[in-house]
Structure 1
Amino acid sequence: MLVLFKEISNRIKPKLGSPCIDNWVFKLHYRATTVIFFVATILVTSREYIGEHIKCVSDSVNNKEFHKVIESFCFFSTTFTVIRDEFNFGFGDPPHPGVFPYGLLSKPPIRKHLYYQWVPFVLFGQGVMFMLTHFLWKSWEMGRVRKLVSGLTYSSLAFLENSVMVDGKSIPSKKEKEITIRRIKDSFFENVKINRAWAPQLILCEILNFANVGLQAYITNKFLGGHFYTLGIKIFTQGHSILDDVFPKVTKCTFHKYGPSGTVQLHDALCIMALNIINEKIYIFLWFWFIFLLVLSGLVLVWRFASILLYSKSPVFGRIIFGFGAKKLSFWKLKTVTRKFTYADWLFLKYLSKNLDGLVFRELFGRIYEQLDDGAVFIGKEESGNKND
């Protein structure tokens, strides 16, 4: 099992030096949440720590082969508990909740437990679904940021006339840095119309992330028979006893067998559901995790729409968002660039700032301002609005 954990961590962990094309809440969806679901899948399929997933006691204990048949039947079919509030055992509460005498003519309603054999498949499928938005975003983004910032990783150290190698890292020369910055600036202006689809696509993926959390909570609630939505609340109000209803540790199972003359024989089995010890802890954690993720994803959307309103109205806001690279930029430069750009252009610039050293981004921003100030042909907000008129 440890080998599987290592394999998952190798595939999911972030790669050093890779460009940032999303935010940390986005990463919580496709990295942290996916890892949680995959680890949970491994736990519920492993017998290393919990042993057999189901062990049954029946009247066929002397016949080991027949006992194995009953045990297999109870695992792949359904076990059940009896819904009965009152029953006189003669010594107080029943030893196992939901385990009462139940025969062919018994009338009390029963609760069938169908989910446990499907838990690993559902958990794995949900983990994959949390990765789909990331794959969609990568297919739309098409490595645009990587192509622009490649070669500028150590450009803030470019003080020499020739490029040098230090500890296996290539530090470009001043001329190479200037050429690369000019290339980014030219590419930005040449592809400004193409890059404008970048922001709506990112926002759509953030909306899909928010919707996906709600969808997964709905799927989990349906899967657990409608108990998931209130699981955490009931634990706080009713204690851990509620878990015996949702994840019973001891259940009943009935196996029907034909006798020598064709008479149906009923074999009653008492089953220990060791797997539910793991299941209950997984789903309690998921209840809190979904709430945490839903709140953060909602705050991201609030922040996104607030930034749409503020990006061109406040140079101070631009300085905060662009970070270190914008601290020494004049308010006039920030105001000029942000007012001539649409929100899509501004957001693309923001992600360039996240992937460039602050000094390099400041120089790039200055080049963009100079080209705008020189009357560059650029279809910004005002020009596109006039064109539509």
Structure 2
Amino acid sequence: MEIITNKLFNIDLSFLKLKINTVYTDNQIFRLHYRGMTVLLLAFSISVTAYQFFGEPIYCIQRDDIPEKLLNTYCWIEGTFTLPKAFNKKVGIEVVYPGVETSEPEDQVVVHAYYQWVCFVLLFQAVLFYIPRYIWRSWEGGKIKKLCLELTKPVLKREEKETQRDMLVNYFLDTNNNNGSYALRYFFCEIMNFINILGQIYFTDYFLGQEFTKFGPQVVKFTMTEQEERLDPMVKVFPRMTKCSFQKFGSSGDVQRHDALCLLPLNIVNEKIFVVLWFCFVILAALTGLNVLYRLIFMVSSAARYTMLRSLCRFSYKDEIEKVLEKLSHGDYFILHLLAFNIHSAHMKEVISKLAEGLHGRKPSSAEESMRENSALSVP
């Protein structure tokens, strides 16, 4: 009985354990794209979807005998509209709400039907932000994780540490000057991130009727203007009250037109989402552009590579780092840079030392060893 009970209740819950990745193959800017923006856009998409399909996204008001549910459904599907001529009129005196006024057949109207697609557009944008990450993972193939072995841990047995260190050094000696394609593929994915964020800005601008690119500055200006003089720029893009025209046949067979006022509470959510996205897109575009420039500098400047590797390998000797960089191409340096970012500094010191010996084919003399000890002590 006890054996049967153990079998019944011995449930394997290992699938619930969160697996935390301790080996990174990209930088913080890259992770902002596929982690920060993808998660943010998915959260926005889910919230809009919940409000749109499980709430009441539109309320239409009319005095005729049209069923309320029918009118709401029709106006939601066909879209509502505002009148540009009514945006600058005084609310409560000339108009009931900015953009809402009695319309004439010749009046210019702005139709608002995009809000039906917001949840899908946000989901599509989230997928676009993850594509460069997916491509890089396919190309990278877990190479850095395999090279790190167990050297990411601060404490290892001496035999195990020396074996893994020697395996890593031998890899660099065997593949010296043959890792250029690895670095170029990563740089290509960074270029994809930059193109994607710029494309996202102009795609969103097109989706919102060429209003998104100037959305952020207008919102900032709105918050700094006196309340009596300001017009909320978000009202034009995301109106909270609009008009809807419903047409049906009358009792005599003629076409009857019924105008209705429609409240769009969903736009209160939409406007906040796209304000946040404007600032996120602009800041991330600037950071990504600087990151691409940073990568170009490291491709052409050996001094920049030395400075970065020196900061990552703080326990290593200066002359050993210089000797290593003398023999390594940019592709080899890029892999060494990723390893230095993931491997513990104490282990990386020995890797650099052995790699310098292997690349130059000799061991340092006792005098050189003493000089390096003194220089290392003088480094803050």
Tell me if both proteins adopt one fold, taking TM over 0.5 as the criterion: yes
Aligned to 2:355: 368
Q: Is the 8 A contact 1:213 1:290 kept in 2?
A: yes
Q: Measure the CA separation in 2 of the matches of 1:200 and 1:87.
A: 54
The TM-score, its normalising length taken from structure 1, stands at 0.81
Deviation, 1:317, is 4.8
Aligned-residue offset at 1:24? 0.6
Distance apart, 1:349 and its partner CA = 0.2
Per-residue Cα deviation, 1:124-181 (whole angstroms, up to 9, x for no partner): 1001110000001101111100111122232x423xxxxxxxxxxxxxx211211111
Deviation at 1:41, TM superposition (A): 0.7
Contact 1:145/1:352 (CA < 8 Å) preserved in 2?
Answer: yes
TM-score (norm 2): 0.83
2:232 counterpart (238, 241, 261): 241
Q: State the alpha-carbon separation in 1 of the partners of residues 135 and 307 from structure 2.
A: 33
Q: Residues 80 and 111 of structure 2 are in contact (CA less than 8 Å); yes or no, is this contact kept in structure 1? A: yes
Which has the larger displacement, 259-268 or 69-78? 259-268
Per the alignment, residue 185 of structure 1 pairs with 169
Mark the runs of 5 or more structure 2 residues left unpaired by the alignment: 1-17, 223-229, 363-380
RMSD: 2.5
Q: Secondary structure at the match of 1:222?
A: helix
% identity of equivalent residues: 33
Aligned to 1:82: 83
Q: Which of 262, 270, 292 is residue 253 of structure 2 equivalent to?
A: 262
Q: Residue 59 of structure 1 contacts residue 268 of structure 1 at CA under 8 Å; is this kept in 2?
A: no
Residues 87/229 of structure 1: CA separation in 2 closer, same or farther (3 Å cut): closer
- Measure the CA separation in 1 of the matches of 2:48 and 2:304: 53
Q: CA deviation at 1:319?
A: 0.9
Kindly state the Cα deviation for residue 112 of structure 1 after the two structures are TM-superposed: 0.6
Opposite residue 188 of structure 1, the aligned amino acid is F
1:277 aligns with 2:268: yes
Alignment partner, residue 345 of structure 2: 358
**After superposition, where does 1:1-150 map in structure 2 within 5 Å?**
15-47=19-51, 51-60=55-64, 62=65, 66-85=67-86, 92-102=93-103, 106-150=105-149
Give the counterpart letter for 2:239 in structure 1. P
Tell me the residue number matched to 1:348: 335
Task: Between 33-42 and 92-101, report the one with greater CA deviation.
Answer: 92-101
Q: CA 1:314–1:226 in 2, change beyond 3 Å: closer, same or farther? A: closer
Preserved CA contact (<8 Å) 2:59 2:264: yes
What runs of 5+ residues in structure 1 fail to find an aligned partner? 1-13, 159-172, 376-389
Q: Which moved more, 1:43-52 or 1:194-203?
A: 43-52
Tell me what 1:165 maps to: none
- Deviation string 1:69-104 (CA, Å, 9 cap, x unpaired) is 12101001110011224999996241211111125x
Aligned counterpart in structure 2 of residue 205 of structure 1, from 175, 189, 197? 189
Change beyond 3 A, Cα 1:175–1:228: same
Contact 1:220–1:228 under 8 Å retained in 2:
yes
Amino acid at match of 1:23: N
Deviations, residues 364-388 of structure 1 (Å, cap 9, x unaligned): 111111111118xxxxxxxxxxxxx
